[in-house]
Amino acid sequence: MAVAMESVEKPHPLSWKARLVLALFGLLVSALVAEVALRIVGTSLKPKTWTDRPYAYFLPAGAHTLQDADPSPKVEGTYRIVVVGDSFTFGPNMQLVDTFPKKLEQMLNLNKNAPRVEVLNRGVCGASTVTEVENVRAALQEQPDLLILEITLNDAEPHVLSKQEREELFEPRWLKWKIFTIWKSLGFIAARFHNAQTVRRYIDYHSKFFKDPKTREQFEIAIRRIVTQAKEAHVPVIAMVFPLFDFPVNAKYPFAETHEIIASALTSNGVGVVDLRKPFADVPPERLQVIPGVDNHPNEIAHRIAAERVLAAIAERGFIPPTALPQRVFRARTGMKSPSQNPAQTFQKFANIVISGTEEPRTEGAASGE
Q: What does the pLDDT read at residue 331?
A: 63
Q: Are residues 107 and 130 in the same domain?
A: yes
298 and 150 in one domain?
A: yes
What is the reported pTM? 0.78
Give Cα separations from 299 to 84, 99, 255, 333 (angstroms): 18, 8, 20, 23
Q: Are residues 184 and 135 part of one domain?
A: no
Same domain, 233 and 142: yes
Render pLDDT for 231-285 as a digit per residue (tens, 0 to 9): 999 999 999 999 999 999 999 999 999 999 999 999 999 999 999 999 999 999 9
**277 and 168 in a common domain:** no
Residue 233 and residue 116 share a domain: yes
The answer as to whether 24 is a domain residue is: no
Outline where 74-183 has alpha helix (H).
87-90, 100-107, 132-140, 163-170, 178-182
**Same domain, yes or no, for 181 and 257?**
no
- Give the total number of structural domains in the chain: 2
Please indicate, yes or no, if residue 343 is contained in any of the structural domains: no
CA angle, corner 50, sides to 46 and 52, nearest 5?
A: 140
DSSP for residue 100 = H
CA distance 222 to 128: 10
Say if residue 102 is in the same domain as residue 217: yes
Domain that holds residue 173: 163-200
3-state DSSP call for residue 146? Answer: strand
Last residue of a domain, one of 326, 348, 363: 326
Look at residue 285 and tell me if it is in a domain: yes
For residue 223, give the nearest of 151, 307, 319 by alpha carbon: 151
In this structure, the number of other CB atoms found within 10 A of the CB of residue 331 comes to: 15
Does the residue 16 lie in any domain?
no
CATH number at residue 303: 3.40.50.1110
Rg, C-alpha atoms of the chain: 29
Confidence of residue 367 (pLDDT cuts 50, 70, 90): very low
C-beta separation of 149 from 262 below 8 A: no
Give CA–CA dist 337/232, Å, rounded.
41
Which pLDDT score is estimated for 294?
87
Same domain, 144 and 262: yes
Provide φ and ψ at 221, rounded to 5°: -60, -45
**233 in any annotated domain:** yes
- Helix, strand, coil percent content, the chain, rounded in steps of 5: 45, 10, 45
Q: Are 239 and 150 within 8 A, CB to CB? A: yes
